Amino acid sequence: MAALKYAGMDDTDSEDELPPGWEERSTKDGWVYYANHDEMKTQWEHPKTGKKKRCAGDLPYGWEQETDEKGQIIYIDHINKRTTYFDPRQAFTVEDVMVKPKRYDGNTAALEILQGRDLSDKVVLITGGNSGVGFETARSFSLHGAHVILACRNLTRANKAVGLIQQEWHKARVEAMMCDLASLRSVREFAQSFKAKKLPLHILVCNAAVCTQPWSLTEDGLESTFQICHLSHFLLVQCLQDVLRRSAPARVVVVSSESHRFTDLLDSCGKVDLALLSPPKKEYWSMLAYNRAKLCNILFSNELHRRLSSHGVTSNAVHPGNMMYTSIHRSWWLMTFLFTLARPFTKSMQQGAATTVYCAVAPELEGLGGMYFNNCFRCLPSIQAQDQSSAASLWELSERLVAERPMGHSDVQISIN
């Protein structure tokens, strides 16, 4: 207080009242600054409180902001026919307080994260968005104004999902497009059809997956779990990366799983082993194939972020949550039975979609990627999932596999020695 008294700043009636020689002004975009006419200087902080402020809301009815011949901002009151340098909104300034990001957890629903958000300027693409977590992700984005495209194998089910969302809100902009991840040809055709729409792409969610599938080869000669969960998503991003870059800032969210921790992809030389990713029938175990594909998801996301972050495209991997009752295990009756018993204790699909939605829209994650999230918290994946050389090796292998199977030549069988 002694310093204030010495400076002549303590003789005003209010804490916010300016000392003699000071004037409050505002910038064109509403930020308040203070001019000291005695010392001919300006500053953002209030000379007494040290606080920053900004003008709240729009100009009152009848007022207009213009610039005079000296380049100074003036305010015209058309109703009372007067002009002033004083921003009338300064009567309603608010303190510039840094708002801490809200903390979310495993009980948070996706719609909770989007509360108050307007996504009407966003285009979102979700693979496998016709059921389960993917449907709730699509529904959440759609109900907040985003233009959502469901890339699905079964158009009948996908159109049914579209109808359910539009029943909930008739203005929802959501549509279904054909994309069979068991066919690299179908992925390429989908990408061409999407590009023909001339849309931007702000959020790409690689959500579709299969689990506990009996062994089978796709038309491309690859084990189906590996191709559907990883390789087709790799190709999809490759085909759409120019759209993502033009739409920057853009985000890719890759849905993985905690099960990635219980496997390995490397051979004795430390390279990603294709024989482990796409094994012959006699060496196939469905749960292990799923775990390996989920490890591929994280490695892919990390390498994608490393390659595209400089172009404004970020990527993060997520685990939607433990113990969720979805249809992903429908191919194994025992898993379906166990999940039915555990259903009262599982997360809802809305809660399962929360981490994906969080990584897609959280302001605090703008420009950040190469991370792994569980229950809306960043956590460390397995040691191998953090290995850059494994990520690079998987990327090179994936590039080779899709290059060997160009459009119209999907009948090439893979040979594993």
Tokens of 72: 């100074």
∠ Cα 8 10 14 (to 5°):
130
Tokens of 310: 């400089």
Secondary structure tally for the chain: helices H, strands E: 12, 16
∠ Cα 337 338 344 (to 5°):
105
Give the separation between CA 122 and CA 202, rounded to whole angstroms.
Answer: 6
β-sheet bridge partners, residue 24: 34
Of 34, 75, 104, 290, which one is the catalytic site residue?
A: 290
Give the 3-state secondary structure of residue 149. strand
Look up 290 and say whether it is catalytic: yes
The answer to whether 317 and 381 have CB atoms below 8 angstroms apart is yes
* Amino acid occupying residue 55: C
Report residue 130: phi and psi, to 5°: -95, -10
Give the separation between CA 4 and CA 8, rounded to whole angstroms.
Answer: 6
Tokens of 199: 């849309």
Preceding amide of 249 cis, omega within 30: yes
Q: Please list the active-site residues.
A: 290
